[in-house]
Structure 1
């Protein structure tokens, strides 16, 4: 027993030292610059590759649909991270533009589009002028192009950008509830819709306010109709019922954190209100700081395809997306606590000019999300006034 206890104590002390060293310098973008760039180097080596190699990085056990989703999300979040870095550290702009262009090309490939084609029965780019939703694929691709242009990218993807945003706007305005399903026969996933609203908002900023009316209408309806009365948070799921959008419970920590992050890119006032509610109902301080997946019950261990493995109530993706919320609103104390939790769970590996979480060997998308969230701030986004 003494030997076993000694080993446990030594392991805990080693982990504590590891976490302390890995999180030193956190608290400012200047202090974190070297580590942020090293993580970007690793991400681009894994994401800016070939479409098939990127898909091969996704866990085979999650199936074709989720492999495609995770690959697209890896592209989207890596693009967000690189664009943020280009703004925070302008000397990296040209490199960021180059890699984002490569990543957009990957997202445009038939390999990546396949997951959406399997569910809708048509290639999303073949159906761009049709009536089927495809909102998840369209929105992420449009958002990526908007960030490419934001940091000085050329007109190479303008044709796709115009067509994607025109198509999303038309579909949203034709919907009686201004929301579209990610897949046929399933709930409306509000975070997926918010990507489309962010993309249209960015387009409005870049093209004389076009589609700003749609963005304002959606936000107004969200405030009035889609807020959960118990938590004050935007719904995670909606369903259309006789021309009305009905909230489907539960409100989840992972979805609420992501909703809050996307809202921070388009409506700071609403996002701050959501952030207060998120911390009130989903924040957990013991044994680790983070965001719970469920506010009204405990889940010491579980598995969710979107949240990840739930351990000690904590939602891995909810905690990661909350880093973006905390960073955007300058809540550096909570941000540092969340990054510490990420380090405890992920364990940073450094090799030459690259850094990454050991856990990213299993879920590359988590590495991309965390870096995008870590680099999000008021100066890396652009907003219009939708009041």
Structure 2
């Protein structure tokens, strides 16, 4: 009996809050959002992270602001009555997202400021992350002062994508990542919806090439490729597939479904009601730790796709694992924070937990 209870009680208890989040419960979402807002009010920069790499510290600060905008915007779209409470933090995150100090990590790789170089031909694919976040801001705050910059970034990304023979542009010199390019395409899809701009011809042509070249027969997404030759430079990975499925939902529902099916068919693993996603390769800074083949990042990222495609059971199984290792605790004032997450982890998890069909 003790063994049976030990197997059942944690599964039931750790599934209660995720089930409410899947259902869009406002109070449960808001408790997590309050802590993400608290981080936004501190103006997180690379000094908040200690990865041992200035590049990764900068990327993580950039990602914190991006995921803050996506998470809070998704909640506002689901609960419009929270707009006035959330938009000030979103505006603050947007200011930080496009600040030259935040973008210093990328400028150091390219030798040029990415905003000043928008008329140039270098890829700067990571700008897709910023553009997607600014699109989410415009969806709930059409009067944002960043609207003109958002349009300029999207115009530059569209031009670069149109000139990419293998549907890839570079993130950094000599480095191209299909998940990053899905963020670029996803940003254009969202830009089209919130502004009325017409990117359909470009995105249709891009999607056909991208699907044929960068989605493996397993349904997993190739992690890295050569933008010039179209050759793969890394194996398909669960983490890239999971975050890519989320980005794809903004631009190509069929592609998002294909990637989700790969995650469910090849990637999903479960034990006693706790779910995970197989990485398919050794761990690195992007995948996080890989334990018995299951990747930490892949598991967290896959929450978004499960919710977007209405897979409640898979979502709750994945979230149980996130709760077990993330250690959520109540905070003063009604907030709720994942102790193991930090600024990026809390913003990213909230974005994945609240993802919605576009």
TM-score by structure 1 length?
Answer: 0.85
Of 79, 83, 93, the match for 1:103: 93
Please state if 1:343 is matched with 2:323.
yes
Query: Structure 1's 132 and 25: CA in aligned 2 closer, same or farther, altered over 3 A?
Result: closer
Q: 1:25 to 1:206 in 2, by over 3 A?
A: closer
1:24 equivalent to 2:9? Answer no
The equivalent residue for 2:180 is: 192
Structure 1 pair 25–282 and aligned structure 2 pair: CA distance change class (3 A): closer
Q: Choose the corresponding residue for 2:311, options 326, 331, 334.
A: 331
CA gap 1:233/1:26 in 2 versus in 1, 3 angstroms: closer
| Residue of 341, 349, 358 corresponding to 1:370 | 349
Alignment partner of 2:141 out of 152, 164, 169: 152
Unaligned runs of 5+ in 1: 1-8, 382-387
Question: What is aligned with 1:36?
Answer: 29
Alignment of 1:1-387 (within 5 A): 20-21=12-13, 23-29=15-21, 32-50=25-43, 53-58=44-49, 60-136=50-126, 138-186=127-175, 188-229=176-217, 231-241=218-228, 244-286=229-271, 288-294=274-280, 303-352=283-332, 353-361=334-342, 364-378=343-357, 381=358
Q: Secondary structure at the match of 1:304?
A: coil
- Matched pairs, number: 353
Distance 1:102 1:20 in 2: 38
CA contact (8 A) 1:120 1:183 kept: yes
SS of corresponding position for 1:61:
coil
> Aligned partners of 2:10, 2:36: CA distance in 1, in Å?
22
The offset of 1:17, in angstroms, is 6.3
| Inter-CA distance 307–207: structure 2 relative to 1 (3 Å threshold) | same
Which sections of structure 2, spanning at least 5 residues, go unmatched?
A: none
Q: Is the 8 A contact 1:81 1:368 kept in 2?
A: yes
* Inter-partner Cα distance in structure 2 for 1:31 and 1:268: 21
Structure 2 SS opposite 1:237: coil
Is the radius of gyration larger for structure 1 or structure 2?
1
Is the CA contact (8 Å cut-off) linking 1:258 and 1:322 kept in structure 2?
yes
8 Å contact kept, 1:348–1:358: yes
